[in-house]
Structure 1
């Protein structure tokens, strides 16, 4: 089978399983292909060392990466039709200490309406977003934070300018103006944020607030009337506030710019599908937390209570409750 057909077969299998990442990793005298599913990493198949190298070169060629470079980190992208849909493929390659090259392929599917939200929670987020200001979402990798921001923007963004700044773009949405950090070209979050504000977006999605300058610009955008949807690294709703304070945002600025903070996780329900639980803090509860001199020791707002209700209704089992009750 020629290498193009092998690549097509791998991508088709990945799309059928809704894989988020494909790992092509050297393993002894072979290459191992693994898929990242919502349940975790799953072994797909092993191929020969020679076939693995040909496959890497095939993908590098189509994603405009340097085929001759095997040690230095490289990134690339390719929009490819797989089956009946176009998929945005993002590539990252790097060599290990023995100069064997590995590659990770992120699959970004066309935007579709997610059905894993609890409707009352999503509606609450949309109502809060309609008040404008800044809404910050936290949660671990793979918890659906970007999908939540995009869904809110989709619902509120009709006949409005929606602009995203991400590192990298996670969801492909043709009606949004999507921009991406490019460290190789010297383009970082603050640069894109400053440029974005000159484009006068109604809704601004920031993939991650990770430094003081980005936090400062995001707050100023919210104070000037934009709806800002962003994520930060935090382990709970209230730790999100502490994180923003740690990035140099004062209490008065948080009071005036922050509309809501949330924390979310994806977990399996009894039907074998995914559900998204969102812990939301807003209004008086948020204001009290911002003003307190010491950050709350309460880890989650209604998190465990909501999980207990899901267990009582039979939507999740005891194992899922135990695994997620601490966030």
Structure 2
């Protein structure tokens, strides 16, 4: 099959079957094509080495990545028109020690049309009320747990007709009503540089794709301390580790206590459904003026309600 037609077949299959990721991975002298659905990997097809390399080349080309570079990790993004609707994809490539490339393609929601399932809807209600306050609101959780989607939804529904600026690497979800900026290290447009520039535009909400270094962390804190509402993601295994992570990045504890308003930790949990397992969001929320339930308490509650089985309960426990 023609590479272009096969690539569209893969994307169409992933969209229609609710896939989270598409993997094209080297396996000895061949390539495996797999999909991740509800935290499970499903093998789709095995390809010859030559065909697999051409497929990766095609995705890199349409994702505006450097097709001649196989050693360095690269990221890109592209949109496909599937069922008369534009679908946004995020691409990530990396080469192994044998210079064999692999690619992972993330399927992103069409913003405003996504149908998330929440295990405990009252947690979402608390979050909606808490993020209306000025200051820093942090979102953490595993890759693919919907952090960016949740930030966008909360920003749009809480501050209608307001200026919302997003800084990402790369832009994942296209939203016409937001001012969306993309980092570019080649021309020194880093997170911290763009944050400083954005503050001159007086955003009502500033969304930072990821706090990944000291400069970005300090710039986010400065923005929150000057009266802005800041949403940002940060890598942490739970709410308790967020403060420690930011202090490791050079943020002063006094400043953090002054501006940090809430922390949201979320995971996609496989839940029992009539048609088999499907993913749903479970969120732990900490509003710093009040005490919140711990992750294990929330997990025990959804187990008691019968949403998850015993194996998932013990697997997802933090302690």
Q: In which range does the TM-score fall when normalised by the shorter chain?
A: 0.7 to 0.9
Aligned position for 2:162: 160
Unaligned runs of 5+ in 1: 287-299
Aligned position for 2:151: 149
Aligned position for 1:116: 117
Once residues 65 and 300 of structure 2 are traced to their aligned partners in structure 1, the CA distance between those partners, rounded to angstroms, is: 49
* Cα distance change, pair 78–208 in 1 and its aligned pair in 2 (3 A): closer
Unaligned runs of 5+ in 2: none
* Cα distance change, pair 83–237 in 1 and its aligned pair in 2 (3 A): same
- TM-score by length of structure 2 reads 0.88
Give, in angstroms, the shift of residue 69 of structure 1: 4.6
Cα displacement string for residues 192-214 of structure 1 (whole angstroms, at most 9, x for unaligned residues): 21122122211111122222222
Contact 1:90 1:107 in 2 (8 A): yes
Once residues 101 and 281 of structure 1 are traced to their aligned partners in structure 2, the CA distance between those partners, rounded to angstroms, is: 41
Once residues 187 and 107 of structure 2 are traced to their aligned partners in structure 1, the CA distance between those partners, rounded to angstroms, is: 23
Contact 2:38 2:278 in 1 (8 A): no
Once residues 225 and 50 of structure 2 are traced to their aligned partners in structure 1, the CA distance between those partners, rounded to angstroms, is: 57
Q: Which stretches of structure 1, 4 residues or more, deviate above 6 A after TM superposition?
A: none
* Cα distance change, pair 302–101 in 1 and its aligned pair in 2 (3 A): closer
Once residues 262 and 69 of structure 1 are traced to their aligned partners in structure 2, the CA distance between those partners, rounded to angstroms, is: 37
Once residues 321 and 304 of structure 1 are traced to their aligned partners in structure 2, the CA distance between those partners, rounded to angstroms, is: 9
Once residues 249 and 227 of structure 2 are traced to their aligned partners in structure 1, the CA distance between those partners, rounded to angstroms, is: 21
Once residues 148 and 65 of structure 2 are traced to their aligned partners in structure 1, the CA distance between those partners, rounded to angstroms, is: 27
Q: CA RMSD in A?
A: 2.4
Give, in angstroms, the shift of residue 123 of structure 1: 1.5
Give, in angstroms, the shift of residue 13 of structure 1: 0.9
Aligned position for 2:314: 322
Once residues 61 and 247 of structure 1 are traced to their aligned partners in structure 2, the CA distance between those partners, rounded to angstroms, is: 35
Aligned position for 1:295: none
- The range that moved more, 108-117 or 254-263, is 108-117
- The range that moved more, 268-277 or 159-168, is 268-277
Contact 1:166 1:180 in 2 (8 A): yes
Cα displacement string for residues 91-150 of structure 1 (whole angstroms, at most 9, x for unaligned residues): 333443334333333333311244323321111111111122111122222222222212
Q: Secondary structure of the equivalent of 1:55?
A: helix
Once residues 262 and 121 of structure 1 are traced to their aligned partners in structure 2, the CA distance between those partners, rounded to angstroms, is: 10
Cα displacement string for residues 207-228 of structure 1 (whole angstroms, at most 9, x for unaligned residues): 2222222222212211222111
- TM-score by length of structure 1 reads 0.86
Q: Secondary structure of the equivalent of 1:207?
A: strand
Write out aligned runs for 1:204-219 (5 A). 204-219=206-221
Aligned position for 2:303: 311
Aligned position for 1:42: 42
* Cα distance change, pair 10–285 in 1 and its aligned pair in 2 (3 A): same
Contact 1:237 1:301 in 2 (8 A): no
